[in-house]
Amino acid sequence: MTSWLLKDVRPYGEGVVDVRIVDGRITEIGPGLDAGDAQVVQGAGGVLLPGLVDLHTHLREPGREDAETVETGTLAAALGGFTAVHAMANTDPVADTAGVVEQVWRLGREAGWCDVAPVGAVTVGLGGEQMAELGTMADSAARVRVFSDDGKCVSDASLMRRALEYVKAFDGVIAQHAQEPRLTVGSQMNEGVNSSLLGLAGWPAVAEEAVIARDCLLAAHVGSRLHVCHVSTAGSVDIVRAAKARGVDVTAEVTPHHLLLTDDLACTYDPIYKVNPPLRTQADVDALRAGLADGTVDVVATDHAPHALEDKESEWGSASPGMTGLETALAVVVDAMSPAFSWRTLATRMSETPAVIGRLEGHGRPLAVGEPANLTVVDPGRSWTVDAAQMATRSSNTPFAGRVLPVRVVATFLRGKPTAGPA
């Protein structure tokens, strides 16, 4: 029997208690608990949250182990406070068969830093033409429930409709990367004043909004569940809000970087700020924050997208889009959302709701006796300077290097086992 006593923590930022963990579950919560023969971990008044859950992580294995592996990416996740991540399907080979999703799931189990829920591709090879064997992936050991061609949009309306219909059989969800391809040919950054000044081809807001509107109509038509990846525009928030008001079963995510950064940064021509969808305007950032605060945007998802140096350190036009984010996500969200956000709301948006959308068992559960001890401790007074060289992710493409962030994850527990922090 392994037992731990987590001393002096504040669940959801409330009063100080101790938490006893026996065999991976919370068995007692209260002030001044007796340690007995438990190993003691000092929480030092830190905020206790349910372990974070990411709906959108690129782990790059198989295929681009030079940029990230399941091992390095999940260690980065644990250090960022995550106890489960959904691994996107745009690997090489693509995660479009039971064999590949089982491989990624098994690598996650072997690494042991956090649970890995593989996302299955919607179409074979992300080709956008032939539906992948979604049912086989759902029935596999990886129990896939989230399907996405992320990186690419399922732009064929008929195929999208059939995929939405198909996943109903096993309570799955299609997570759409909303980008109308014909409206974004050659695009390099947000279409607006800055793209005109810089002479770079624009990625207009309507290319995202048109697909979200269409997909909300399709989801309503077939009575299925739709999740919208990384919404980035004020108009997208409005469309999701209107669809929800009409009873459409749609959820949406926003990334930490879209909550904090704007397309003014493209004026540096530094490709560290190149990402897809692109950074938008301050008005979009404001609308995304308001949407996240009022629940129109259900969750924060990192879109952690590690890239090797040679893919990122080139001129803007040829650099790969993407930013790392697992190790900075919680602190960036606190920075962007305070003081509007309570710790409880943060737990809802970064743990509870993502676990529900992904149909993950044992994660995103309340901090209560009997629940699995998937936990995160945050020091709300510990500001820190982001140093790309100090991160566990194998890639260094963080847009937050040198930035001072206000809070820090100090410990993470996966089923009672410390995966990051002082223990």
Active site residues: 303
Query: Is 98 or 229 the residue whose CB approaches Zn ion more closely?
Result: 229
**Contacted entry of Zn ion, ligand DOR, none for residue 58, CB cut-off 5 to 8 Å set by kind:** ligand DOR
**Least distance (Å) between residue 326 CB and ligand DOR:** 14
**Contacted entry of ligand DOR, Zn ion, none for residue 275, CB cut-off 5 to 8 Å set by kind:** ligand DOR
**Contacted entry of Zn ion, ligand DOR, none for residue 305, CB cut-off 5 to 8 Å set by kind:** ligand DOR
**Least distance (Å) between residue 16 CB and ligand DOR:** 41
Q: Does 58 bind ligand DOR (CB under 6 A)?
A: yes
Q: Does 96 bind Zn ion (CB under 5 A)?
A: no
Neighbours of 342 (CB within 10 A): 13
Q: Rounded CA gap, 316 and 272, in Å?
A: 9
Binding residue for ligand DOR, selected from 177, 214, 225, 289, defined by CB under 6 A: 177
Distance, C-alpha 140 to centroid of its chain? 23
**Least distance (Å) between residue 19 CB and Zn ion:** 37
**Least distance (Å) between residue 23 CB and ligand DOR:** 38
Q: Does 150 bind ligand DOR (CB under 6 A)?
A: yes
* Beta strand pairing call for 39-50 and 3-11: parallel
Number of residues binding to ligand DOR, judged by CB under 6 A: 11
Binding residue for ligand DOR, selected from 101, 154, 163, 275, defined by CB under 6 A: 275
DSSP E strands, 76-170: 82-87, 115-118, 146-147
Q: Does 150 bind Zn ion (CB under 5 A)?
A: yes
Query: Is 47 or 119 the residue whose CB approaches Zn ion more closely?
Result: 119
Kindly write down the DSSP assignment for every residue of 200-236, as one continuous string: PPEE-HHHHHHHHHHHHHHHHHHT--EEE----SHHH
Alpha-carbon distance values, 202 to 193, 219, 278, 279, 316 (Å): 10, 29, 9, 11, 13
Binding mask 295-334 for ligand DOR (x = CB under 6 A): ----------x--------------xxx------------
Q: Please check whether residue 250 is in contact with residue 178, taking contact to mean a CB–CB distance below 8 angstroms.
A: no
Query: Is 22 or 201 the residue whose CB approaches ligand DOR more closely?
Result: 201
**Least distance (Å) between residue 88 CB and Zn ion:** 8
Query: Is 11 or 322 the residue whose CB approaches ligand DOR more closely?
Result: 322
Q: Rounded CA gap, 290 and 229, in Å?
A: 17
Tell me the two tokens of residue 255. Answer: 């990334």
Residue nearest to Zn ion (CB): 177
Alpha-carbon distance values, 19 to 6, 41, 42, 165, 344 (Å): 5, 10, 11, 44, 18
Q: Find residue 244's DSSP bridge partners.
A: none
Query: Is 177 or 214 the residue whose CB approaches ligand DOR more closely?
Result: 177
Tell me the two tokens of residue 282. Answer: 């301050």
Q: Does 354 bind ligand DOR (CB under 6 A)?
A: no
Q: Rounded CA gap, 400 and 254, in Å?
A: 17
Q: Rounded CA gap, 126 and 304, in Å?
A: 19
Type of residue at 151: G
Alpha-carbon distance values, 365 to 294, 301, 368, 415 (Å): 21, 18, 8, 12
**Contacted entry of Zn ion, ligand DOR, none for residue 10, CB cut-off 5 to 8 Å set by kind:** none
Binding mask 88-107 for ligand DOR (x = CB under 6 A): --x-----------------
Give SS3 for 407.
coil
Binding mask 159-178 for Zn ion (x = CB under 5 A): ------------------x-
Q: What Rg value do the Cα atoms of the chain yield, rounded?
A: 21
Q: Rounded CA gap, 259 and 93, in Å?
A: 32
Residues engaged in binding Zn ion (CB under 5 A): 150, 177, 229
Residues engaged in binding ligand DOR (CB under 6 A): 58, 90, 150-151, 177, 275-276, 305, 320-322
